[in-house]
Amino acid sequence: MLEDGRPSGRAMHPSPRVVAVIPARGGSKGLPGKNLAEVGGMPLVARAVRAAAAARSIDAVLVSTDDDRIAEVAHAAGAGVVRRPAGLSDDTSSSESALLHALHSIAAHTGVRPEVLVFVQATSPFIDPASLDRAVERVQGGVEDVVFSAVPSHVFLWRETRGGADGVNHEASVRPRRQDREPEFAETGAFYVMRAGDFERSGHRFFGRVGIERVRAEHAVEIDDADDLSRARLIAATVDPLAEIADPRHPIVDVDAVVTDFDGVHTDDTAWVDTLGRESVRVSRSDGAGVARLRAAGVPVLILSAEANPVVARRAEKLGVECLHGVEAKGEALAEWAADRGIGLDRIAYVGNDRNDLPALELVGWPIAVRDAVPDVLAAARHVLERRGGHGAVRELADLVVASREQAARDGATQDHPHHERAAAH
């Protein structure tokens, strides 16, 4: 992740129309470490990332932060990161200032100005992605300029004064029934969807025609203090809208072939050189076991490397997989290999770590990066592995691919024998 405010990470679409920004600074006086507090076993900032990433209408998810640990957690959850300067990260800094900084960073480093900005707050742990999609649709469709989340309320509000308590939204002498009162709406603070250009011009989240996206009361929890956090943890198991969403750390990688770079993927991108100038590299036995799993599952594996060293071919021979090494134009070589075998490029996973992998990553349906890949590769990847090159990254990908095949087989068996579902229901 870069320190100059440039957005980075695998959730940065090359030309995003709808961008979600999650401001999450490190300091919090009311609840120290609030954005990293866990609800349902997941840090709040990671929950916000997952909710935004699960919304079909959102092209890119960015976390604006000044904190190294928040940046790390956000990146692991699948977000890009915008480093927020100290001047926008103190107790007096507004959310609007972080949002404007993020938009300017996107424009400066991608040349793109998003059409719609989705402001998501990490302190709302139960955001429903479907609610985000509905709000975005209303703004994109021109129904409103701003849509925010709120819950209907029929609460009688009071204000304490020197003369005693006074009714705020009602006459104290009149007590209408609930069904006779039009609801008012309590702003939840969970999300605000707005036209990005108009927001930049106004500098405020409310402008033009404003609409309300009604959300369920149980999704309107907002965490400001320790008591709020305790309540959220108690109800997480029963109201969590993220429960049915696949963990981005373990996606369903449904492919027909796996292609990998060698240096920096099967190795840690280092080499030993002896006094005779001979090179040797370190590989992981775990990766070898992963390749064996793929072969046993009938998944073709190709090692595609720019390195001309014979060690690449020797390792491929040991693993029993195909190898193309000394290749400069990886994209062309990959396309030719896939065409010769009748495998669609959209049905291939390619895992790489450096810039020479980009032409291949851009072609395939599942571009994947190892954890320690260069920023450009991380940004191009659909999924970033938890493990670094040479430390089990290939095994991690193999497990994801095999797991997806096993799940597909189970789903097929259920469809062939629907009475199994009925029996389970009884």
Each domain of the chain, given as residue ranges in start order, spans: 18-239, 257-410
pLDDT recorded at residue 404 = 86
The H or E element that residue 36 is part of is: none
Beta bridge partners of residue 273, listed in sequence order = 279
Q: Which two tokens mark 161?
A: 């004064």
Instruction: Indicate the fold that domain 257-410 takes in CATH.
Output: Rossmann fold (3.40.50)
pLDDT recorded at residue 247 = 61
pLDDT recorded at residue 91 = 72
Beta bridge partners of residue 54, listed in sequence order = none
Going from the C-alpha of 290 to that of each of 265, 284, 372, the distances in angstroms are 13, 10, 19
Beta bridge partners of residue 120, listed in sequence order = 191
pLDDT recorded at residue 3 = 35
Q: Which of 4, 9, 5 is nearest to 374 (CA)?
A: 9
pLDDT recorded at residue 56 = 86
Residue ranges for the chain with pLDDT beneath 70:
1-15, 29-30, 244-250, 411-426
Q: Which amino acid makes up residue 227?
A: D
The two domains 18-239 and 257-410 share their CATH topology (first three levels equal): no
pLDDT recorded at residue 2 = 34
Q: Which two tokens mark 157?
A: 């509000």
pLDDT recorded at residue 244 = 62
Q: Which amino acid makes up residue 425?
A: A
For 18-239, CATH number? 3.90.550.10
